[in-house]
Amino acid sequence: MPLATLRMHHLCSPQWKSFKPRVVIDTSARRGGMMTREQPFYAEVMRNIVDAAKATGVSQVIIHSSVGVRGSAKKLLEEQFGYNTESQNIRDKGEAEIYLENSGLGYTIVRNGLLEFEPAEPTGNGYLIEDMNAFGRITRTDLAAVSLECMDNADCLGKIYHAQDDSLVGPRPRGEEGE
């Protein structure tokens, strides 16, 4: 669906009513000059997805989020990598997660740390872990694969996972670059 559809509720529901999905996977992301990071995005998109999902009988929403949201891996990210886990972008993703959790819909939250962009080859070694301090790398393709494992999977409902792949060279803490 185009971004406009995700952001405008009146366009979203009629399209979903004719399509009738069982599961929705939200992989929305900000890109470049699309909007400033101070503007709400993720929470607004999630409100529209939840409203449309409820109106059309969707049974599960899987959201891709980020390690660092709602304090996950906070100490590691801030102290070792210098990441700002209190940024507006991270808070906005947290609001989206909370809205989904409180929606009454079946949900699964999949957070990724460092996402390897194309042309990164999938390794087939990606996995989900419930350790909220886990932080690693994963390719886009492997993130999609582990997310699909949760589709229509009752064992994944109501859970928050971190996605990673130990076969990829992990991030290095500050001061260890080039070692």
Average pLDDT over residues 149-174: 85
Note the pLDDT of residue 129: 94
pLDDT value at 155 more than 90? yes
Q: Do the Cβ atoms of 111 and 72 come closer than 8 Å? A: yes
Q: Do the Cβ atoms of 61 and 107 come closer than 8 Å? A: yes
Task: Grade residue 128 by pLDDT with cuts at 50, 70 and 90.
Answer: very high
Task: Grade residue 103 by pLDDT with cuts at 50, 70 and 90.
Answer: very high
Task: Grade residue 179 by pLDDT with cuts at 50, 70 and 90.
Answer: very low
Task: Grade residue 59 by pLDDT with cuts at 50, 70 and 90.
Answer: very high
For the chain, the structural domain boundaries read: 3-164
- Fold that domain 3-164 belongs to in CATH: Rossmann fold (3.40.50)
- What size, in residues, is the chain? 179
0.85 cut: is pTM over it? no
Task: Grade residue 173 by pLDDT with cuts at 50, 70 and 90.
Answer: very low
pLDDT value at 45 more than 50? yes
Name the more confident of 156 and 117: 156
Phi-psi region of 32 (alpha: psi -120 to 50; beta: other; left: phi over 0): left
Least confident of 40-44, 79-83, 93-97: 79-83
Average pLDDT over residues 63-78: 72
Computed over every residue of the chain, the mean pLDDT equals 78
Separation between Cα atoms, residue 138 and residue 108, nearest integer Å: 18
Average pLDDT over residues 77-91: 67
SS3 track for the chain: CCHHHHHCHHHHHHHHHHHCCCEEEECCCCCHHHCCCCCCCHHHHHHHHHHHHHHHCCCEEEEEEECCHHHCCHHHHHHHHCCCCCCHHHHHHHHHHHHHHCCCCEEEEEEECEEECCCCCCCCCCEEECCCCCCCEEEHHHHHHHHHCCCCCHHHCCEEEEEECCCCCCCCCCCCCCC
Note the pLDDT of residue 152: 94
In the chain, % of residues over pLDDT 70: 68
